[in-house]
């Protein structure tokens, strides 16, 4: 039994949740998101909220029960408040700036790195901090992870991208023998 799946999802005011077949559409003040759930899960939308239940006793049905409920909850949260992730860039000579919908990065390579910001996301650069925000939790997390993978934090000097508040344990360097 999924504790997450059993919990009915409340629909806040200003948000409409509609269902047509397997497609769930959530509209709110920040935008609209859609999700197609699996056939092993039954989703019911009514005035009180959204409920999910597995169809049958298959292992996949119980595995996807809570996942489907959380995906719908993430859509509801996204269209009401949105999501944001923040990255820090540390290192001498490492820079980033925005030029329209392009993110220009100088990461110590022989060439500048340019990344397009996907539609539906917005980015803000403040000094050495990059904030990526949008209504789709998966899209925000994926783009943030792609940016971080360009120059992950190296363990000796701590240079590179790190999530805001992430703690990196630095390794000890070589010691000179005397």
Q: Are 89 and 160 in contact (CB under 8 A)?
A: yes
At which residue do the structure tokens 């917005």 appear? 122
The pLDDT tens digits of the residues spanning 102-151 come to 999 999 999 999 999 999 999 999 999 999 999 999 999 999 999 999 99
What DSSP designation does 2 have?
A: -
Q: Is pTM, for the whole model, over 0.85? A: yes
What is the C-alpha separation between 51 and 5, in angstroms, rounded?
Answer: 8
Cα dist from 97 to 70, 104, 121, whole Å: 34, 5, 16
Domains and CATH numbers, the chain: 3-80 (3.90.930.12), 83-163 (3.90.930.12)
pLDDT at position 1 over 70: no
The pLDDT tens digits of the residues spanning 139-165 come to 999 999 999 999 999 999 989 999 998
Find residue 88's DSSP bridge partners. 129, 162
N-terminal to C-terminal alpha carbon distance within the chain:
63
Q: Are 159 and 171 in contact (CB under 8 A)?
A: no
pLDDT (mean) for 59-69: 90
The pLDDT tens digits of the residues spanning 9-38 come to 999 999 999 999 999 999 999 999 999 999
Q: What is the pLDDT of residue 36?
A: 95
Q: Give CB contacts under 8 A, 24+ apart, made by 63-66.
A: 64/37, 64/38, 64/40, 65/2, 65/4, 65/5, 65/41, 66/2, 66/3, 66/4, 66/5
pLDDT (mean) for 74-80: 95
What is the C-alpha separation between 143 and 132, in angstroms, rounded?
Answer: 8
What is the C-alpha separation between 69 and 78, in angstroms, rounded?
Answer: 14
In the chain, how long is the greatest CA-to-CA distance? 76
């Amino acid at each position: 039994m999924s504790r997450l799946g059993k919990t009915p999802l409340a629909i806040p005011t200003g948000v409409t949740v509609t269902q047509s077949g397997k497609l769930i559409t959530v509209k709110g003040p920040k935008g609209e998101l859609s999700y197609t759930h699996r056939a092993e899960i039954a989703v019911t939308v009514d005035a009180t909220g959204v409920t999910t239940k597995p169809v049958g006793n298959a292992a996949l049905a119980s595995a996807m029960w809570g996942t489907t409920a959380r995906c719908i909850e993430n859509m509801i949260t996204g269209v009401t408040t949105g999501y944001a992730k923040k990255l820090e860039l540390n290192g001498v000579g490492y820079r980033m700036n925005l030029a329209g919908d392009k993110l220009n990065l100088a990461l110590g390579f022989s060439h500048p790195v340019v990344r397009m910001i996907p539609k539906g996301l917005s980015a803000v650069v403040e000094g050495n901090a990059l904030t990526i925000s949008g209504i789709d939790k998966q899209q925000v997390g994926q783009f943030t992870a792609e940016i971080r993978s360009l120059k992950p934090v190296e363990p000796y000097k701590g240079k590179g991208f790190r999530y805001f508040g992430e703690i990196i344990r630095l390794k000890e360097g070589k010691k000179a023998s005397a």
